[in-house]
């Protein structure tokens, strides 16, 4: 598996950190996990085109995680000389199909009047198997239906929390993950419900016995030293703060 961080930031835009977006190459599939604004451009900058993306996985419907779905559909439809043939499956939490329909009612149904099939599939806590890999989802503590994902391939595991507060579900999902990508929104003295502080992120990684922790969804102003020090008070494994265009082999 190879993960590329396309956006390590949040709704509070920063020049060096775009909103949430990640590219995951797993087995022979190219997947996009969340797509906040700028995700597709960042993707091109890393050398992968939206034309190559097989599947989309969304954690929840907040715009800093979903808004580039529209540019994805539009670019796929209107790139000269390109016709997508392969089916597109869009995975998301409960309510995603309605969200998608509403987007189409705003932008026009001809957005998806295209020469390939699109399926929207809602997930709660379940497991889906593909050729050489599988995905497990679990309910997170954020918006009403937000989910996190665990990807497994060839004996390796990668877990992405999306946005969440501290909950048993993320600890379970992240059990002994080779790479745990956790949101880490606000400092310990500025705790916001439905999001993690560095100390909580460290505690989750410790309880889950994760092998490696990568922190993302960083709100400004929030210094790296402050984050790492707080995480290390709980977790003694490898920890780093994600940055845009970072590539991680899992």
Name the site residues for Zn ion (rule: CB under 5 A): 62, 64, 163
CB 142 within 8 A of CB 194: yes
Nearest to Zn ion of 150, 195 (CB atom) = 195
- For the bound state, the minimum distance from the C-beta of residue 185 to Zn ion, rounded and expressed in Å, comes to 8
> How does strand 2-7 pair with strand 21-26?
antiparallel
Nearest to Zn ion of 25, 195 (CB atom) = 195
- For the bound state, the minimum distance from the C-beta of residue 231 to Zn ion, rounded and expressed in Å, comes to 19
DSSP class of 72: H
**CA 157, CA 108: separation in Å to the nearest integer?**
39
CA-closest candidate to residue 181, choices 214, 204, 211, 156: 214
- For the bound state, the minimum distance from the C-beta of residue 114 to Zn ion, rounded and expressed in Å, comes to 29
- For the bound state, the minimum distance from the C-beta of residue 247 to Zn ion, rounded and expressed in Å, comes to 22
Nearest to Zn ion of 206, 243 (CB atom) = 243
- For the bound state, the minimum distance from the C-beta of residue 64 to Zn ion, rounded and expressed in Å, comes to 4
Ordered DSSP codes for 210-242: -SEEEEE-PPSS--HHHHHHHHHTT--SEEEE-
**CA 68, CA 102: separation in Å to the nearest integer?**
15
CB 180 within 8 A of CB 174: yes
Nearest to Zn ion of 64, 152 (CB atom) = 64
Nearest to Zn ion of 11, 111 (CB atom) = 11
């Amino acid at each position: 598996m190879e993960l590329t961080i396309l956006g390590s930031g949040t709704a509070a835009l920063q020049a060096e950190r775009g909103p949430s977006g990640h590219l995951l190459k797993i087995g022979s599939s190219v997947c996009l996990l969340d797509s906040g604004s700028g995700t597709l451009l960042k993707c091109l900058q890393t050398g992968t085109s939206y034309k190559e993306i097989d599947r989309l996985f969304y954690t929840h419907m907040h715009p800093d995680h979903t808004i580039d779905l529209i540019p994805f559909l539009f670019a796929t439809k209107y790139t000269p000389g390109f016709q997508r043939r392969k089916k597109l499956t869009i995975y998301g939490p409960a309510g995603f199909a309605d969200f998608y329909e509403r987007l189409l009612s705003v932008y026009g149904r001809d957005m998806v009047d295209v020469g390939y099939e699109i399926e929207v599939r809602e997930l709660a806590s379940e497991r889906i198997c593909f050729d050489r890999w599988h995905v497990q989802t679990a309910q997170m503590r954020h918006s009403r239906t937000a989910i996190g994902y665990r990807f497994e391939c060839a004996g390796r595991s990668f877990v992405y929390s999306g946005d969440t507060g501290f909950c048993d579900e993320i600890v379970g999902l992240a059990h002994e993950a080779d790479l745990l990508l956790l949101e880490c929104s606000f400092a310990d003295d500025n705790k916001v419900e439905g999001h993690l502080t560095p100390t909580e992120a460290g505690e989750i990684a410790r309880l889950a016995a994760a092998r490696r922790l990568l922190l993302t969804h960083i709100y400004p102003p929030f210094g790296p030293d402050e984050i790492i020090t707080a995480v290390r008070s709980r977790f003694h494994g490898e920890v780093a703060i994600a940055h845009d265009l970072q590539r991680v082999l899992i």
